[in-house]
Amino acid sequence: MVVRKETQQTGATVNHSAPRSVSRGVRAVSMILAMALTMALMLLYTPAPHAEADETPTTMVSIDSSTAVLTDTSGYHLQATVTNTTDQTVPAGTLSVAVNAFYTFVSRNDIQEWAEGTGRIPTSNTIGQADVPELQPGASTKVSIDADANQQSLTAINSWGPKPVELDYTANGEELSTTHTFVTRTTDGLDTPSTPAMNITVVQPLAASGWTTDVDLMNELVGKGGLTSHKLSKLTVPSENDNTRLKSLEQVFGKHDKLQVIADPTYLQAMTMPTQVDGITQPALFDMTAYTAYDDGRAYANANIATSDWKSSKAITTYRSALGDSSAKTRTYAWQGAGNWTMKALTEAKRQGYGTVIATHDFEGSDQSTVETGKTTVSTEAGEVTVLTAQSTLSNLAQGKATSDDADGEGSDAGRLARFIAQSAFYQMEQPYAERNLLVCLGTDSNPSDVDALMSAIEQSSWLNLTDLNTLGKASASHSGDEAAAALPQDSGLSDARRSSLQQTLSALTESAKGIDRFNSFILAEPTEKSSSGSTTWRKQLVSAHNLLSLHALGNEASSGSTMLEGASQLSSLLFNGIAITPTENVNVVSETAKMPVTISNNHPYPVTVKVSSLTDSMQIVTSRFDTVEVPAHGEAQVAFTIRVSTSGDADATIALFDRQGTTFGATQTTHITSALQISDKSGFVIIGFAVLLGIVGLWRQFNRKKDPDE
């Protein structure tokens, strides 16, 4: 008699053999007999004819929900949507679900071929059927199939693991659509040997996907100044969709305590009540891989981004600010961006204090015969780096990506979940006694309900054991030393489109950064003893605000890039537009000289010193060229240009603002000048009298001069 003990593990009861209750020999014999039985049953079936790819009907059945983990008490439940994708009316028909209760997948190709509909596996064990009404072109209907745990086809399954499931939609005896999916049987209620559960770590990155700029706060910064550093950090705010999603995610986090949450510290800082997390990423998910691939630190510096803005210590500082706890501690992880973790990228990450990085894509070798623990240690010039590597197939499925375009059952969340569970079971069966820990990375935009469904399914899977990042970090590395270095990606992975976009982003940020620097250096008045402290602080706050916007523009949240660029440009524009020329009324000149007053306003909290220029479009009516004026905070100042005229007429004077270096800024104003020159003093009369006298003398001489004899 075999004695077993039961332990509760992540929501599912798992049977473990009692110590020394089953010898290795008995276990081996049991496994051999099970495999022999499976192979014998496979030989009883004749492969069904398989249609060519171009003859396969368009998928008309989408899986809305299905039982991914099958236990001895769960039964099987399916909800599906049937859609008429043809241009003709489809008569009433039937949707049937069938399984091969005795089949065991023997290779990765085997399980993939079934998903793509090319595997010749018979499914003669019918689970249930549902009637489908007549459907007009484009119409759809929802159907449900429910089978309890005692259903004959379900009780026929006598071995644990993934089983092939087929959904057939027929009408008038004609097969219209076939969808391939999976159900995975647990060991519950089966008299089969138990094997150690495979460790799995699931990570949810917590970041906003729709950062926007708080316009009111920006106006307050520019118009009033004096913001606290905490208030300034709220300049970038998550979208309403992010706030709604966060509330749902927090419920998921509370329900599944083994789900690892790694947060962008700037997102935590934007929250009223920061979520409890298991670690933090670099600030704003700054794309380190793109930084090293672009290989132009000066371009980033010109855009007001320094390495100190995204290093590990900065992430910790931001995290402590978010929590309001100056001594708070947590682990920091460098999250992968658009590029690859090359040796250069890993070295830079280590230099900035990140001893552990997470590789979400293009790091795991494609030629692996079996899955391995998602941990690699790499020696760089800056020190050793631990790379936690996501298992690509499982991570892609968890992020809503089908294993291939031909996998007809993976077009829905439920279909991908069924494949995820089946694939994880297959990985465990490949090496049932090998100790491994697989990393699954979810997406920054993952749907909370999908995350909940995934975690619930994993917790029900007796062959999986959920662990945390700390456990994964302490596991033995699959690769290290020269082997790990040789396997690193050689290409940066930065596409031409991404590089071009990055160049444009840096160029735009450089322009706005130059604008802020120009305002601080050549427009803002030199601080006095009275305004020194406040003015200096305000200058720094303007730079910090632009820095925050730039970080988000260069992060992994691609959808936020354009809004952050607009925010940075708006900040620069508000500074220059806050100094303006008050429109001047038209000027009438009735003498040789006159004065043209020009008023300059300043909406900023500190004085500015600017040059004012006046230039007319006439050579006969001109003004003085420049004047310099200091405009007080939230006040006005006036300059007076001298007008000189030499004749009657009209002219337009263009008034413009210049910084102290002589570069123009802001909007210009045009003042119309009208000259009606009049004699207004004695010198004028003397000149006119002298001119008349000369005229008279000239006429007298013309008529009274003696003629020459030759004339």
Average pLDDT over residues 572-582: 96
List residues bridging with 615 in a β-sheet.
654
User: What is the C-alpha separation between 549 and 552, in angstroms, rounded?
Assistant: 5
Angle, in degrees to the nearest 10, between helices 448-460 and 413-430: 30
**pLDDT tier at 15, thresholds 50, 70, 90:** very low
Measured at the CA of 8, the angle between CA 3 and CA 11, to 5 degrees, comes to: 140
- Dihedral of alpha carbons 610, 611, 616, 620, sign: positive
pLDDT at 546 over 70: yes
pLDDT bin (cut points 50, 70, 90) of residue 29 is very low
pLDDT number for residue 14? 35
Q: Is residue 648 classed exposed, middle or buried when 0-12, 13-18 and 19+ CB atoms within 10 A define those classes? A: middle
Phi and psi at 174, nearest 5°, equal: -110, 135
Summarize pLDDT for 30-80 with one digit per residue, the tens: 444 444 444 443 433 333 333 333 333 468 999 999 999 999 999 999 999
Phi-psi region of 336 (alpha: psi -120 to 50; beta: other; left: phi over 0): beta
What would the pLDDT profile of 270-310 be if each residue is shown by its tens digit?
Answer: 999 999 999 999 999 999 999 999 999 999 999 999 999 99
Nearest of 558, 550, 557 to residue 511 by alpha carbon: 550
pLDDT of residue 3: 34
Specify whether domain 4-194 bears CATH 3.40.50.150: no
Per-residue pLDDT band for 569 (boundaries 50, 70, 90) equals: very high
633-665: pLDDT as tens digits: 999 999 999 999 988 899 999 999 999 999 999
Chain segment 345-388, per-residue pLDDT in tens? 999 999 999 999 999 998 886 556 789 999 999 999 999 999 99
Return the CATH architecture of domain 579-675.
Sandwich (2.60)
pTM across the whole model? 0.83
Average pLDDT, the chain: 88
pLDDT at residue 666 above 70?
Answer: yes
Within this chain, domains 4-194 and 199-211+246-492 share the same CATH topology: no
Task: Note whether 125 and 75 are within 8 A (CB).
Answer: no
Q: What is the pLDDT of residue 263?
A: 98
List Cα–Cα distances, 561 to 284, 309, 399, 564, in angstroms. 11, 17, 22, 5
Strand partners, 599: 582, 638
Kindly give the pairing relationship between strand 12-17 and strand 140-147. unpaired
Q: Residues 474-496: pLDDT tens digits?
A: 999 999 999 999 989 999 999 99
- Structure confidence by residue, pLDDT tens digits, 411-461: 999 999 999 999 999 999 999 999 999 999 999 999 999 999 999 999 999
Q: Looking at residue 376, what is its pLDDT?
A: 96
Task: Write the pLDDT tens digit of every residue in 196-218.
Answer: 999 999 999 999 988 999 999 99
Domain boundaries defined on the chain: 4-194, 199-211+246-492, 579-675
Q: What percent of the chain has a predicted confidence (pLDDT) above 70?
A: 88
Quickly state the pLDDT bin for 28 (edges 50, 70, 90): very low
Strands 464-466 and 198-206: parallel
Q: What is the pLDDT of residues 96-116, one digit of tens each?
A: 999 999 999 999 999 999 999
Cα-to-chain-centroid distance, residue 9: 35
CA atoms 293, 298, 299, 300: torsion sign: positive
Q: How many CA atoms lie within 13 A of 283 on its CB side?
A: 32
Fold held by 199-211+246-492: TIM Barrel (3.20.20)
Q: Encoding tokens for residue 362?
A: 């293009």
% the chain with pLDDT above 90: 78
Tokens of 84: 């008429």
